[in-house]
Amino acid sequence: MNKNKAKLKFLSNKFEIIEAGDHVVCSVSGKVIPLDQLSYWSVDLQEAYYSPVEVKERINQIKK
């Protein structure tokens, strides 16, 4: 990992790289997610998530 944060545009079943990098940061936990391991994101919020746990946490935050 070269420690360059990517800037992405999240689409329904893929993402586009706006600025090159090798990772993004989870919007909930702050954990680093290598792009080749990125599986969870929100199109509406344009956020990346480390795992389903963080997705659920964000949903619960929005419901409050």
Of 63, 46, 35, 60, the closest CA to residue 12 belongs to: 46
On whether residue 17 sits in a domain, the answer given is yes
On whether residue 1 sits in a domain, the answer given is no
Residue-wise pLDDT tens digits, 19-58:
999 999 999 999 999 999 999 999 999 999 999 999 999 9
On whether residue 2 sits in a domain, the answer given is no
Confidence band (pLDDT; 50, 70, 90) for 1? low
Q: Is the pLDDT of residue 64 over 90?
A: no
Count of structural domains within the chain: 1
Supply the pLDDT for residue 3.
Answer: 84
Confidence band (pLDDT; 50, 70, 90) for 2? low
On whether residue 56 sits in a domain, the answer given is yes
On whether residue 28 sits in a domain, the answer given is yes
On whether residue 16 sits in a domain, the answer given is yes
Domain that holds residue 41: 7-63
Residue with tokens 């969870």: 40
On whether residue 32 sits in a domain, the answer given is yes
